[in-house]
Amino acid sequence: MAPRLQLEKAAWRWAETVRPEEVSQEHIETAYRIWLEPCIRGVCRRNCKGNPNCLVGIGEHIWLGEIDENSFHNIDDPNCERRKKNSFVGLTNLGATCYVNTFLQVWFLNLELRQALYLCPSTCSDYMLGDGIQEEKDYEPQTICEHLQYLFALLQNSNRRYIDPSGFVKALGLDTGQQQDAQEFSKLFMSLLEDTLSKQKNPDVRNIVQQQFCGEYAYVTVCNQCGRESKLLSKFYELELNIQGHKQLTDCISEFLKEEKLEGDNRYFCENCQSKQNATRKIRLLSLPCTLNLQLMRFVFDRQTGHKKKLNTYIGFSEILDMEPYVEHKGGSYVYELSAVLIHRGVSAYSGHYIAHVKDPQSGEWYKFNDEDIEKMEGKKLQLGIEEDLAEPSKSQTRKPKCGKGTHCSRNAYMLVYRLQTQEKPNTTVQVPAFLQELVDRDNSKFEEWCIEMAEMRKQSVDKGKAKHEEVKELYQRLPAGAVKALCKECVVERCRILRLKNQLNEDYKTVNNLLKAAVKGDGFWVGKSSLRSWRQLALEQLDEQDGDAEQSNGKMNGSTLNKDESKEERKEEEELNFNEDILCPHGELCISENERRLVSKEAWSKLQQYFPKAPEFPSYKECCSQCKILEREGEENEALHKMIANEQKTSLPNLFQDKNRPCLSNWPEDTDVLYIVSQFFVEEWRKFVRKPTRCSPVSSVGNSALLCPHGGLMFTFASMTKEDSKLIALIWPSEWQMIQKLFVVDHVIKITRIEVGDVNPSETQYISEPKLCPECREGLLCQQQRDLREYTQATIYVHKVVDNKKVMKDSAPELNVSSSETEEDKEEAKPDGEKDPDFNQSNGGTKRQKISHQNYIAYQKQVIRRSMRHRKVRGEKALLVSANQTLKELKIQIMHAFSVAPFDQNLSIDGKILSDDCATLGTLGVIPESVILLKADEPIADYAAMDDVMQVCMPEEGFKGTGLLGH
C-alpha cells in the first residue's frame, strides 16, 4: 500500500474527476479511503456520530496517539500557589479592598514599624499550651495590633504566594464591597494605631507612630501694624499638597508654605493692637519625621455638584528630595529618599483600582504590589507612578512630560512616601517572635498538606486516565475491520457529485459572471435578481447541507431512511430560501413584475441548474401568472376608483382638508349658533386617504361612538373640549356636516348649541350638547386615566439633556390640524385591502351603535387618542422605556447608559420640579407616559468600560461611618 499522504492525494484527485455514473466497486473502496483517512486524522469537518465507518465519533485518532497527562484532570498545579524564592507575599482583594492592601504592604516594608509591632504583648499566650499551639482550634487575634502582628508575620515568612487579610478587614468593620477614600483610610488608621499603642509600657512601641510619621509645624500670623507674631503649633502625620495648577512636587510644597494676606473682611484681630489689622499668615515647618508622607490632593470636593472628582494632571517628583529649604531651623539632615508611590488607576473618584510601587529597604529594588500579584520593577518597567494603560479617559489625553534621570512624573500618584536618608544600613534582622513564628509554621504546614492533597488528587486522576488510555487502545486493536462492501453505492455516488461541485464552484462562478455580462441571444431563462446576487453562497450552503446529511443522517448507510412526514415545517421554511423561488408569485407561477427578474442565457442557466436541479424553471416564452394579471388589473381599477373618491371628497370638503377657517369653541364664531363634532381620529384617517388614495382604503363612516359612553352620553364637558380634550375632537360647520352626511355613514350626531339667556341684554351664554354629558362615565374615565398614568408598564418617556443651563428643546407638541405638510402618521403604510380598522365600521349598513362595556370603551378611547397624545422627539432627546413602579435610581442607571452621565452627576427635573428622591417611584413623582425629563450633567464622566477593577457607580460614599476606624 502507498504511504498515507500519497494515498490521500490520489483519492481526492479521483473524487474530483470521476463521474457519478461511472462509480464501480473499486471506486467505492477508494471512497472508503477518502472518508476513512481524514476521520483517523481528526480532520473530518463534522462529527458524524451515526456513521459506523467514521472514527471521529468514538475518538480513535485521539486514543491511539499520545495524550498529554494534563487532559486527564482539571486540578491546577498547587505549586503555582507557592511563594517564589526571594519574592514578597501578596494580599487577596476581598472585593474592593485594594486600597487597604496597598497601605499594608507599605507599612510592612517600614522595618521600624514592623519591629515595634512584633514587640507588642499579645493574648496569644492564652492560645498556647505549654510549648505548642492548640491543634483543635484556629488562632483568632483580638486587637488591631495582634491582627497586624499576624499579618506581618505571614507576609514575612509564609510559604503561600498570597494571604487572606479578611480577619484584619473584618476587625476594622470595613465593607468589602464599597471602595473608600484611601487617603482618609490612612489618616484614620494611623490615628487608631497611635491611640492603641499609647497604652503600651515599652517606649519603643508606644512612640513608634510619632517617631516614624509625626512632624510639627506652626501657623504663624504677623500683624502688619505692630509686627506682633502669634504661633499655633500643630502636629502632622502627612502634608496635604494642592496639585491643581502645578507641574512639580516642589511647587506644591512651596504653595503649601506660602504667605497668605489677611485683608479686608478677612483681617486679623491683633491682641497687641486690640483691633482688626492687615496681617500675613504662613506655615513654618519646625520638624520633619523619619517617614514623610506627602498626600497629593487628587480627590477634591466639587461644591457645585456636592461630590468628589479626580484631578488627572501630571505631577513630577524626584527620587531625592531635599527639604532643608522648607524648614525653619537649618543645618539638620533633611535629605529624603523616595520609598513608595501609591497609585489610583481610574478617572472617577468613586471607582478604579489602587496599586503601590514600593522600594525594598534591604535590597533597594522596586516592586509593584497589585493585590495577589507582585512584580519586580527593573529595566523599562521601572517607571514609578506609571499605571495608565487602562485608565486613559480618552484618546486625547494629556501628553506625558519628559523626565530626567532620577525624576518621575505621574497623573495617578496620590501619595508619595519619602524616607530620611541616613548613612546607616537598614536593620536586616527583623525577627518574627517565636509565638508568631509558630502560628506561621502551623499555617505553612496546612498549606503543605493542601499541596500534597492536590498533587495526590492530580496523580490519581492521571493514573486513572492513563489506565483508561491503555484499555481503549487495546480495545481498538481488537476491533475487527469493517467490510468495505457494506458501503452504500448511492451514497458514494452522491458524495462524489458533491465533492466535484465544490471544487468546480469557483470556476463556475467566474463562468456565470462572464455569461451574464454578454447579451442574451435567442431564448433564455428567467432568474430572480436576488438569487443571482447570492447564488454562490446558496450553492455552498446547499452542498454543505447535503454533505452533512450524508454523514449525519446516514440514509441507507445505516439501514434506515428518513421519515417522510418528519419536520415538514422545517422543510417549508428552508424551501422559502431556495434558488429562483424569489420570482414565484403566490400562485406558484412566474411573477408579473419584471423588475425582480432577469433573463439569462441557456448556457448560464445550465451551469446554475447543476447546483440547483430542483429550482423552478421559467423559459423566456413562459407567460406570467394569469391570476396575478387579473388581480393587477383589479388593483389598478381600485386605485383609479380611490383617486376619484378622494378627489370628490377633497373638493366637497376643502376647508376640512386644508384646515382653513376652522371653528373654535373658546372663540365661538358669531355667524352660527350650532357646531357639530366628529372624532379627530376620523379627520386624520380621512386626510391620510385623501393624500395617498392608492395606499389607503377609503374611510366610509364617521365613528362618533368613540366619543360617547356605553349609555349614549357625551364623554366631554364644554370646558374640557376647549382645553385638554380639544385634541380629540374636530369642530364642523353646519354646511360641512350636511356634506359629511352625504359622503359618509354617520353612526351618531353630536352637536353643540349656543343659547343666549336674558331679555334685552344677554347676561349669560349657555352651551348645550346633544347628546348630553354622562357625569358617571365622565367621572369613571377621569379616574381610569389617572390610574393609567400612575400604573403604566413599558411606557415611553423622553430625556432631554440641557447644555449650559439653557433649554435647547423647542415646543414639540404635534400639530394636529396640518394643512400642507405631511404628518408623521401619514408616512405609515396603508393597511392591505380587506383588513379593517377596528376604530371604524367600514360596512355600509352599520348605523346602529354597538353595545360595549365600560372597560371596552376605555380601551377604545385609548385607540382613538393614541396618535393625538404622542410626543415628538427632537434633537438632544432619547426615548426610554420605563414603568410606573420603577424607582428614580433605576431610571438614573438607564440615563447613565444612554448619556454616559453617572447617577451622582445627574440633575433631573420635570415641569420645573426637581426629582431628587432616588427611592421614590416614577408614578409617585408624576412621571407619566410621554413625559419629557430635563437632564443637567454636572460634569462629563469618561467611558466606564475603561475601568479595570470592579466598577462601582454609586452615590457619594458615607466614608468610614460605623467602622472600627471611628471607634465604633
Residue 783 is among the residues annotated as catalytic for this protein: no
Q: The C-alpha cell of 764 is what?
A: 349669560
Three-state DSSP class for 132? strand
Query: From the candidates 44, 48, 98, 624, which is the catalytic residue?
Result: 98
Return phi, psi of residue 7, to 5°. Answer: -60, -45
Query: From the candidates 353, 357, 642, 748, which is the catalytic residue?
Result: 353
Instruction: Determine which helix (DSSP H) or strand (DSSP E) holds 914, and give its type and residue range.
Output: strand 913-915
pTM to 2 decimals? 0.50
In whole angstroms, give the CA distance from residue 907 to residue 663.
43
In whole angstroms, give the CA distance from residue 821 to residue 687.
11
* Terminal CA-CA length for the chain: 87
Q: Specify the DSSP class assigned to residue 507.
A: H
pLDDT number for residue 299: 81
Three-state DSSP class for 888? helix
Amino acid at 229: E
Q: The C-alpha cell of 507 is what?
A: 470556476
Return phi, psi of residue 259, to 5°. Answer: -75, 145
How far is CA 816 from each of CA 675, 684, 785, rounded to the nearest angstrom? 19, 8, 21
Asked if 680 contacts 728 with a C-beta cutoff of 8 angstroms, the reply is yes
Output Rg (C-alpha) for the chain, integer angstroms.
Answer: 44
How far is CA 700 from each of CA 438, 682, 692, 819, 836, rounded to the nearest angstrom? 97, 10, 16, 22, 11
Residues in the chain, pLDDT under 50? 1-10, 39-43, 45, 47, 49-53, 129-130, 389-396, 553-575, 805-869, 940-957, 968
Asked if 340 contacts 296 with a C-beta cutoff of 8 angstroms, the reply is no
In whole angstroms, give the CA distance from residue 162 to residue 649.
86
pLDDT digit string, tens, across residues 637-684: 888 888 888 888 888 888 888 777 778 877 788 888 888 998 888 888
Q: Specify the DSSP class assigned to residue 350.
A: T
Asked if 312 contacts 399 with a C-beta cutoff of 8 angstroms, the reply is no
- The pairing of strands 162-163 and 90-91 is parallel
Residue 98 is among the residues annotated as catalytic for this protein: yes
In whole angstroms, give the CA distance from residue 400 to residue 402.
7
pLDDT number for residue 337: 92
Q: Where are the alpha helices (DSSP H) in 813-937?
A: 854-865, 888-899
Asked if 574 contacts 522 with a C-beta cutoff of 8 angstroms, the reply is no
Amino acid at 735: S
